[in-house]
Amino acid sequence: MALPQDISPVNSELMDTIARASETDWIETDPGMAFMKILWLGPESGRWAALFKWKKGYVAAPHKHLSAAHTFVLSGRLEVRDGEFGAGDYVYEPNGMVHGATTALEDTEYLFICDGPILFYNEDGFTNYMGWEQLKRMQDRAAAAKAA
């Protein structure tokens, strides 16, 4: 039965995005220590979602969130600021959040959903910008390397 035109969905032409993470290869971001699977990139909004896998002892540089971010730890433990987060923990980081290095206390996997870019820094200043554009380039390079 067709819906009357006046109650049809406004965005009925939009499509879902399905990421089959179990069929996606990990992208190595730090040799032997850190990996990611890009699940979704939203160029229209700057948002993105990824799975991260860090080996015990991996340290992510200090950084500043230029947008809000959501983290859900699937397995392992992370040391973030003055706290530890383990499997089942959810962390919300608001826009503008600045914090020091993040350390994997165990082999750790987590889901990360970010509303925009992140700036990484050290004592000399900013060292890396991570936004959807850079993630798209990483994804394209990984796909090209796999096809070669």
Lowest mean pLDDT, pick from 22-31, 71-80, 120-129:
120-129
Range picked from 4-13, 29-38, 78-87 for highest mean pLDDT: 29-38
27 is written with which tokens? 């992208």
- 115 phi/psi in degrees, rounded to 5: -85, 5
* Per-residue DSSP letter, 144: H
Q: Where are the domains of the chain?
A: 25-147
- For 62, the 3-state DSSP assignment is coil
pLDDT band at residue 14, thresholds of 50, 70 and 90? Answer: low
Question: Residue 38: CA atoms inside 13 Å, Cβ hemisphere, count?
Answer: 22
- 100 phi/psi in degrees, rounded to 5: -70, -165
What's the pLDDT at 5? 59
Q: What is d(CA 63, CA 139) in angstroms, rounded to the nearest whole number?
A: 22
Q: What are the residue ranges of helices labelled H in the chain?
A: 132-147
Q: What is d(CA 91, CA 56) in angstroms, rounded to the nearest whole number?
A: 20
pTM, full prediction? 0.85
- For 102, the 3-state DSSP assignment is strand
Three-state secondary structure readout of 107-143: CEEEEEEECCCEEEEECCEEEEEECHHHHHHHHHHHH
Q: Is the pLDDT of residue 104 over 80?
A: yes
CATH entry, 25-147, from 2.60.120.10, 3.30.460.10, 1.10.287.610, 2.10.109.10: 2.60.120.10
